[in-house]
Amino acid sequence: MREVETVLFDLGGVLVDWDPRYLYRKIFDDSKDMEYFLTEVCHPHWNVLHDSASLEFATSIPERQRRFPDYHDQIAAWVDRWPEMLAGSIDGTVRLLEEIKRKDDVRLFALTNWSHETWKYALEKFAFLELFENILVSGQEKMAKPDPQIFDLTARRFGLTPSETLFIDDNMNNIQQAREMGFQTHWFRDPVTLRRELMERNLL
């Protein structure tokens, strides 16, 4: 009998290739200026605040523009051209998801940090999302990983037993929190390594 009965996937960085550089390489001629923008202006923590619905674009974009007027148009592009940050799916991981689904005896869910304002783009673009029994989106719940509350909510809403659930994420902070809460975990680096672990766990 398998130890794991459920697989809980992260999306960005695991199944979805998202990076603001895909957009901003088109906008900035100078890579150093682009990196300054992405670390000091529209920085990762600012993005996470949208994932938890602590910020909404209607107010966060004008605030950034007032604070950094020299980047007015680049800041506007964050929302106006957001879909251009999506390069597509990580096909090797999608194939693994499809293989697990075909076994038909493993429950599949997703837990993603994603703004509720941009989630519609994912639903439009990625047909593989239909393979999940359900998906918990941080922006819709107004909390984000690695907040322990979102792991607890996921387990309760989907009826998961953490010790029988394999959580897959590319962010070590999220992995560590999940471990503390009793989940089995896989720190995602590439589809080949994930395939090896899934086979060892008799999930493929």
Rounded distance between C-alpha atoms, residue 50 and residue 126, angstroms: 21
What pairs with residue 166 in β-bridges?
Answer: 7, 184
Give the integer Cα–Cα distance in Å for 13 and 189: 9
Identify the pLDDT of residue 94. Answer: 98
The pLDDT of residue 104 is 85
pTM: 0.94
Helices (H) and strands (E) counted in the chain, each on its own, are 11, 7
Position 127 scores a pLDDT of: 97
Q: Name the nearest CA neighbour of 158 among 89, 106, 100, 107.
A: 107
The pLDDT value given to residue 168: 98
Distance, in Å, from the CA atom of 107 to the CA atom of 99, rounded to the nearest integer, reads 12
Amino acid at 68: F
Q: How much is the pLDDT for 103? A: 87
Per-residue pLDDT 10s for the chain (204 aa) are 468 999 999 999 999 999 999 999 999 999 999 999 999 999 999 999 999 999 999 999 999 999 999 999 999 999 999 999 999 999 999 999 999 999 889 999 999 999 999 999 999 999 999 999 999 999 999 999 999 999 999 999 999 999 999 999 999 999 999 999 999 999 999 999 999 999 999 999
- Bridge partner list, 12: 16
Start-end of H helices in 52-84: 57-67, 72-80
Omega within 30 of 0 (cis) for the link into 146? yes
Tell me the residue length of the chain.
204
What pLDDT does residue 79 have? 97
The distance of Cα 123 from the centroid of its chain, to the nearest Å, equals 13
3-class SS at 1? coil
**Number of neighbours of residue 59 by Cβ within 10 angstroms:** 9
Q: What is the dihedral of CA 31, 34, 38, 39, to 10 degrees?
A: 60
- Tell me if 136 sits within 8 A of 157, measured CB to CB: yes
Check residue 1 and give its pLDDT. Answer: 47
The amino acid that residue 186 corresponds to is H
Supply 152's token pair. 């607890």
Asked whether 22 and 87 are in contact (CB, 8 A), the reply is yes
